[in-house]
Amino acid sequence: MREENGTNGAAPDGGGAETGVARTALLVAAARAIETHRPDALARDPYAEHFVRAAGGCSAWPLHPDDIPGGEADPLWGRLGRYFALRTRVLDDHLGHAAHSGERQVVLLGAGLDTRALRLPWPAGTVVYEIDQAPVLAFKQRVLDALPPVPGAAERRLVAADVREDWTGPLKEAGFDPAQRTAWLAEGLFLYLPADAEARLLADLHARSAAGSSLAYEVKLGLETAAVRDSPVYAETRRRLGIDLLGLFDPEPRPDSAATLAALGWRTESRTPFAHSRALGRGPLPEENDALAANRWVFALK
């Protein structure tokens, strides 16, 4: 199950019956909406607020920085929200570089509420495959259908599949060509998958990646201490939104996916979110008992 774009859990249905995973997808959408209105926005997603408004149970959530009394000091909508915005920006930049380096196939593993196919400046001929469960894709499309069409966007191909099961068959049926270079993205996915599902997904991805393909994903290093698990980021998200982020993390020991990829011939690089905050001049920085300190963003090239 995926936290970020609502993937592989129950989809938002507009009726307030979201599961924790789907509500977390909406949390990230709300964070992107707030960031969009910041004068120093790390990333802008004009579609994000429409997803939040279309779903039930989120009417009191802020969608603008002026709606957050504590500003960036607020552990939920400030610190955690800015983290999601930073992650969005970094992965936007990664995919932009991949596309302009010649990768014309993009696969979003657990796409959920991701709108990169619409909002990023893609080179002509780019195809973005969005893999997620059918209810998630249906909710997303209903919202997008009510908005003006976007000229010049990448071609979107929706692939209804569960990444814990067979997703490669539906992807091939949608027109995916494993002989072409591909930019793969698993944003906020591996933290929530069982270890064996992560291993299978990596093996399937590797087998369908031509030389020159790239992959970006997020992992969390090891189990967090009790003090970190009691941090305001986790506590406030649970108290104010009813989302238990810690309960969504898979408790099994995590595989060393970067080492696995390296053994298969991929060149990998792992970075902390704080390195990107410093490089961009904004975003969360380390603090005591930090819920973000164990997060790593991995970038791989085959």
Select from 3.40.50.150, 3.30.930.10, 3.40.50.920, 3.40.50.1980 the CATH code of 20-301: 3.40.50.150
Question: What contacts 9, CB < 8 A, 6 or more positions away?
Answer: 1, 2, 19, 20, 21, 22
* Longest Cα separation, the chain: 51
Tell me the pLDDT of the chain (302 aa) as tens digits. Answer: 344 445 433 334 333 434 444 788 899 999 999 999 999 999 999 999 999 999 988 989 999 999 998 888 999 999 999 999 999 999 999 999 999 999 999 999 999 899 999 999 999 999 999 999 999 999 999 999 999 988 888 999 999 999 999 999 999 999 999 999 999 999 989 988 999 999 999 999 999 999 999 999 999 887 788 999 999 999 999 999 999 999 988 888 888 999 999 999 999 999 999 999 999 999 999 999 999 999 999 999 99
Q: Are 19 and 41 in contact (CB under 8 A)?
A: no
Q: Domain-by-domain residue ranges, the chain? A: 20-301
How far apart, in whole angstroms, are the C-alpha atoms of residue 98 and residue 92? Answer: 10
Question: What contacts 299, CB < 8 A, 6 or more positions away?
Answer: 94, 214, 215, 216, 268, 269, 270, 271
pTM over 0.75: yes
Please report the pLDDT score of residue 250 as a whole number. Answer: 84
Q: Are 110 and 11 in contact (CB under 8 A)?
A: no
Going along 1-144, which residue ranges are E strands? Answer: 105-109, 127-132
- CA-CA distances (angstroms) from residue 20 to 17, 35, 236? 10, 22, 15
